[in-house]
Amino acid sequence: MKSIPARVEASQRVRTGSVSWATLSFADRTRIEMGENSYVTLASADETGTELTLGLGAIHAWVEKLVTRKRFIVHTPAVDMAVRGTEFTVEVKDTKEVQVDVLSGVLGVKTLLGEELEIGDDRPLRSLRVFPDRPLDLPRPEPGKGPEKKEDKKQGAAEPAMPGSDVLAEFKKDVEREVGLGLSKDAVQAVAAEEARRAEYQEGKTMIDVFGARVRIEEYIVRPAADQFKFVVLNERSDRYDYFYYQAQFNQALPESLSPALRYLNGKTGTAPDYFITAFETGRSNTQDTVQEIGTGGHLVNAALAADQTVYDPDANSFRTVSAGTGLWQTLFNDYTYKINGAEKFGWQPNIAGTDITAYDYVATGFNTRILGAPCVNQACEDAARPNSITQPDGASYLHDRVTINYAGDGTTETYDFYVVGDDGKIATTADFNGVTTGDAYKNTLLKFNYQQTITATEFNGRKIDLVVEPKILVKSGVIQ
């Protein structure tokens, strides 16, 4: 989607639609990102400061530390905010209810009823929910207890080791604290708040999931190192908390815009792509159960397609069919492991150490798998040890696929349900994507929906991991092109 620059003058209103967003940039490097269905009125922006009103919708603001005599004020239907060099989000709902969250810095707030307080760093609160006609409902501290202080944390305590941390140590060494597996809800939220301060992209909204539950989605993308990017999704419901992360290392430092590096991750014909992934880790968790994947030894292979394949061509901004026999550059990983609750279920490696896998087909490639620790050297062995099936429980016209994986060795089972779902919890149908033939049309249609994935496993003892991802951040960052 193309960006259209324009100058905004005092008293003008900026409005976004249902599949659009906007960024307001100021001379002092302050930046405000507007979510969809939002409108902001700029009252003033001069040498004395900036003043604006958020009438509806959501904004994410990064305000540079203000010099003496300058001000930055945000008005809403329920509360006014004085900013002092802060990163924060504000959401105004149809009911005029306002949700304020400070990610870093301090925010001075004043309600329509005259109540005043500060929220943010080293304050008792970092978030505030305000109604235009009600007094603030502030938590009362327990006797003898106050807000936790950073210096109270015990020094020298060993952090719990995360599964696979030995494999990822090489490309996580520059990151002190990150969202990873083995964390409680409070720990995830605390680490995510710190990590999100470095985010280049952030999104968030509340919607109804496919089961009728209200879920709050928070997403961000950061660069832990020059050659890495990381995508994090946090889901909060009234009775559960789930999270997901994907971290990748590339063959070279990433450009300022991520789009060129992510452009050909699904394959490229002709000359080899400049960027490819050399290692990755994904993690999914409900704070109790975990699913983890780790791939290393990523390298490019130009293999002839065995059958016709439809691919998206970012250069032509359209989908096209690549004929059988055509060479397609793709990334293969020499070593891979898939773990449930820390125990490996499935993996692969080269048959001869130090060689690159050239295809995942067992034929003269030095490719071996292991299933529950037992080796397989041909497809028949793998099919018998790890049979799987794909079904469409709601019918072929609904975008809901179910993948069931069985392990003959220990009798365990895993089930993945994949949904494309609207904000109202309704499953999308194939008709919703009829006539979509270009990249822009696909992205505009996809922005109306969300991805939802549920995972159940024998090891979960009746529990599940339930994740909803809003694709907007993937479109804005260039992951989806």
Matching residue, tokens 């609160």: 125
DSSP category for residue 198: G
Say if 319 falls within a structural domain: yes
Instruction: Count structural domains, the chain.
Output: 2
Same domain, 324 and 394: yes
Same-domain pairing of 348 and 471: yes
**Closest to 269 measured CA to CA, from 312, 307, 317, 298:** 312
**Which CA distances in Å does 241 have to 187, 244, 454?**
12, 11, 13
In a domain, 145, yes or no: no
Backbone φ and ψ for 476, nearest 5 degrees, come out as -65, -35
Final residue of a domain: which of 115, 136, 157?
136
Q: Strand 79-83 and strand 71-75: pairing?
A: antiparallel
Residues 112 and 219 in one domain: no
- Residues 351 and 458 reside in one and the same domain: yes
Backbone angles phi, psi at 445, to 5 degrees: -70, -45
Q: Are residues 237 and 354 in the same domain?
A: yes
Query: What is the rounded CA–CA span in Å between residue 249 and residue 171?
Result: 7
Same domain membership, residue 200 and residue 89? no
Decide if 153 is inside a domain.
no
Same domain, 113 and 180: no
Radius of gyration of the chain (CA): 24
pLDDT 10s per residue in the chain (481 long)?
455 667 777 778 888 887 778 888 887 778 888 888 888 888 887 777 788 899 888 998 888 765 544 678 898 988 888 886 788 889 988 888 899 988 888 888 888 877 888 888 878 888 888 887 777 777 654 444 444 433 333 334 333 333 333 433 443 433 334 666 667 777 777 777 777 777 778 888 899 999 999 999 998 888 888 899 898 999 999 999 999 999 999 999 988 888 788 777 777 888 888 999 999 999 999 999 999 999 999 999 888 877 777 766 666 656 667 778 788 788 989 999 999 999 999 999 887 777 888 877 776 566 788 999 899 888 899 999 999 999 999 999 999 999 999 999 999 999 999 999 999 999 999 898 887 666 667 677 778 889 999 999 999 999 999 999 988 877 776 665 5
Euclidean distance between CA atoms 446 and 19, whole angstroms: 9
CATH number at residue 94: 2.60.120.1440
Reference 346, options 384, 366, 377, 373; nearest CA is 373
- For 248, residues 6+ apart whose C-beta sits below 8 A from its C-beta are 228, 229, 230, 277, 279, 280
What domain range is 66 assigned to?
Answer: 13-136
Backbone angles phi, psi at 196, to 5 degrees: -65, -15
**Element spanning 82, H or E:** strand 79-83
Residues 40 and 177 in one domain: no
- Confirm whether 249 is domain-assigned: yes
Q: Which of 475, 454, 477 is nearest to 235 (CA)?
A: 454
Residue where a domain stops, chosen among 91, 117, 136: 136
* Statement to judge: residues 130 and 169 lie in one domain: no
Q: Is residue 6 part of a domain?
A: no
| Residue 203 domain flag | yes
Where do runs of H (alpha helix) occur along 364-460?
379-385, 439-446
Q: Is 141 helix (H, G, I), strand (E, B) or coil?
A: coil
**Residues 429 and 342 occupy one common structural domain:** yes
Residue 440 and residue 346 share a domain: yes
Q: Which of 95, 118, 136 is the last residue of a domain?
A: 136
Same domain assignment for residues 321 and 445: yes
Domain assignment present for residue 5? The answer is: no
In a domain, 78, yes or no: yes
Residue 175 CA, distance from chain mean position? 18
